[in-house]
Amino acid sequence: MNVFSEDHIQETSKRGRIEVICGSMFSGKTEELIRRLRRAKFAKQRVEIFKPAIDTRYSEAEVVSHDSNSIASTPIDSSATILLLASEMDVVGIDEAQFFDNGLIDVCTQLANNGIRVIIAGLDMDFRGIPFGPMPGLCAIADEVTKVHAICVKCGQLASFSHRTVKNDKQVLLGETSQYEPLCRTCYLKAIHEDSKK
């Protein structure tokens, strides 16, 4: 008798669902997205990965984690493009979802309703601690939400906040460790208090 794990059944049966992986910067969101997508490919499923065209930090055509793991992807400017390119897929991955328009919520719902497994990774809050782009809506409609954490660079506790270390008020500022640091709530509040005095 074959006994299959829940993961195996989930990855091989044609059942639409929405999975969201969210958290602060440096929390391993993209790493987890890549892991799930590789497992789906291993299960011989048709997989397509999308990312916002504006995110060219590591590569123009690949999704790349901070640990330098990568997977081929399709850069797009609008969430509506996903529907055009994903109709024949079993699994759709979307990275940096916070940079997409709010239409992404309807796109993901439509994909899942059509029997496609949708796996989304993105920042849940911007540098001000405000819910970011379509992420709150995606968390609301998701079948499963995984919140991952970084480690606070000040005290070593679990970090949920992305503190911007450079002076710039634009919501979207693509950056790395030279522009952002992961902080726990206590250290984040302390940091923004200090920033306000500068």
Is 92 part of a structural domain of the chain? yes
Residues 80 and 107 sit within 8 Å (Cβ to Cβ): yes
Residues 94 and 126 sit within 8 Å (Cβ to Cβ): no
**What is the pTM (predicted TM-score) of this model?**
0.84
Total domains in the chain come to 1
Question: What's the CATH number where 121 sits?
Answer: 3.40.50.300
Parent domain of 11? 6-149
What integer pLDDT is reported at residue 154 of this predicted model? Answer: 97
Q: Is 71 helix (H, G, I), strand (E, B) or coil?
A: strand
Is 178 part of a structural domain of the chain? no
| The residue to which tokens 């302390």 are assigned | 190
Give me the catalytic one of 19, 96, 144, 194.
Answer: 96
pLDDT in tens, the chain (198 residues): 455 555 555 555 568 999 999 999 999 999 999 999 999 999 999 999 999 887 654 445 545 555 556 677 889 999 999 999 998 999 999 999 999 999 999 999 999 999 999 999 999 999 999 999 999 999 999 999 999 999 999 999 999 999 999 887 776 665 555 789 999 999 999 999 998 887
Active site residue 60: no
What integer pLDDT is reported at residue 67 of this predicted model? Answer: 55
Is 176 part of a structural domain of the chain? no
